[in-house]
Structure 1
Amino acid sequence: MNWQHKKQPPFNEHLGVKIEEWQEGRVVISVDLKPEHLNSQGAPHGGFITTLIDIAGSYCGLYCPNPNRRRKSLTLSLTTNFTGQAKTNHLTAICTLTSAGYKIFYSTTEVFDSQGTLIATGQMTMRYRSGSEILEGEVIEESLTENIKRVPI
C-alpha cells in the first residue's frame, strides 16, 4: 500500500498518530494516549480529540495512490460532538467522505476507544488547495519542515 510510505506532517508524528487504513474516501487513524493528551481529570482532552477529527477529516478526502505525490486542503468548518468518555488509552478515528465537489469536500468522523465506546463525532467542510483537486495530486518537492524554516517569524 503506497500510503504507508508517505511522511506525515511533523505535528501528526509528534502526537503519535498512526494511519491504519487509507483509501479513496475513507481513513482509519489511531493513537495511544500519552499523559500530555489528557485533561486535569485524566481523560483525553477535548482539544486533542478534536485534533484527531481534524486529521482524519482531511485525510479521508486527500488520498493519493502515488507515493511521490500528495494532496492538500484547508479546514473551513469543523463541528465536534462529545458522546462518551474513553475507558482505554487507545483511540481510533474512522472517517468517511460524505460528499465532494471540485474544490470542497465534506467528511464525517467517529472516534472510539478500544472497547468500542463512541467518544466523539465530527463533521468537516474542507477546501482542496490548488493542485490537489484531482486524485493524482501534486509532486512532493520538499519536506514540510523545510517549508516551516523559510517562514519569517
Structure 2
Amino acid sequence: MLNNQSGTLPDIAYQLMETGYHKVLDYQHHDWGLGFSTLTMQVTAKHLNMAGVIHGGVLTGLLDIACAQSGIYFPDEKIIRRSVTLSLTTTFTGQCNSGVVTATGRVRARGRKIYSASGEVKDEQGNLLAFGEGTFRYRSNATIPAGT
C-alpha cells in the first residue's frame, strides 16, 4: 500500500493495476490524495512507437489514469469510488525514449456525479511531454454519502 502524508491506496486499486492495460503500462503510484494523483513509469521498449519514442497512446493512458484517479480519492478506505472517462483531450509537446516519466492529475471542478481534471506528463528533466483535460463521471455504485 502507498502510505504517505496524503493518503493510502486501497488494496483493491493494486489488484486492479495487475490487470489489462494497467499491467501493460506498468506504472507506479507515487502520491495520491484529495484532488490529486501522481504516477511514475519507467519507459521501456514496450512503450515506444516505431520511431523509437514514447507512444502517444502511452502518454494519453497515463494522463487518463492520473486525471481520473485525482477525483476518486476518499479518505475512508472502506469507500471505493470508481469513475469512467466521458472525454479526454491530449496535446503532445515533447518526446523521450528512456528514463522515468511522471504523470500528474489535479481536479479542477467537482459536482455530485461529474468532475473535471487536468494533467501533464513530464520526463526526468522536467520537460513537458503532454498535457490534457478530462471529464469523468462517478460510477453509480461509487456514490459518496451525503455530507462528506
Rounded Cα–Cα distance in structure 2 between residues aligned with 1:82 and 1:89: 18
Q: CA RMSD in A?
A: 1.9
Q: Does 1:58 align with 2:65?
A: no
Match of 1:35 among 45, 48, 53: 45
- Kindly provide the CA deviation profile for residues 31-84 of structure 1, in whole angstroms up to 9, marking residues without a partner as x: 001211100111000011100011111100010223343111111000000111
Match of 2:77 among 67, 71, 84: 67
Opposite residue 20 of structure 1, the aligned amino acid is: H
Q: Could you state the TM-score of these two structures normalised by the residue count of structure 2?
A: 0.84
Q: Report the Cα offset of residue 85 of structure 1.
A: 1.6
Q: For the Cα contact (< 8 Å) 2:54–2:97, is it kept in 1? A: no
Q: Paired residue for 2:9? A: 3
Q: Paired residue for 2:36? A: 26
Q: For the Cα contact (< 8 Å) 2:38–2:66, is it kept in 1? A: yes
CA 1:46 to 1:80, structure 2 compared with 1: closer, same or farther past 3 Å?
Answer: same
Aligned residues: 136
CA 1:121 to 1:72, structure 2 compared with 1: closer, same or farther past 3 Å?
Answer: same
> Unaligned stretches of 5+ in structure 2?
none
Opposite residue 29 of structure 1, the aligned amino acid is: L
Q: Could you state the TM-score of these two structures normalised by the residue count of structure 1?
A: 0.81
CA 1:67 to 1:7, structure 2 compared with 1: closer, same or farther past 3 Å?
Answer: farther
Residue correspondence of structure 1 range 112-151 to structure 2 within 5 A: 112-134=122-144
Opposite residue 41 of structure 2, the aligned amino acid is: V
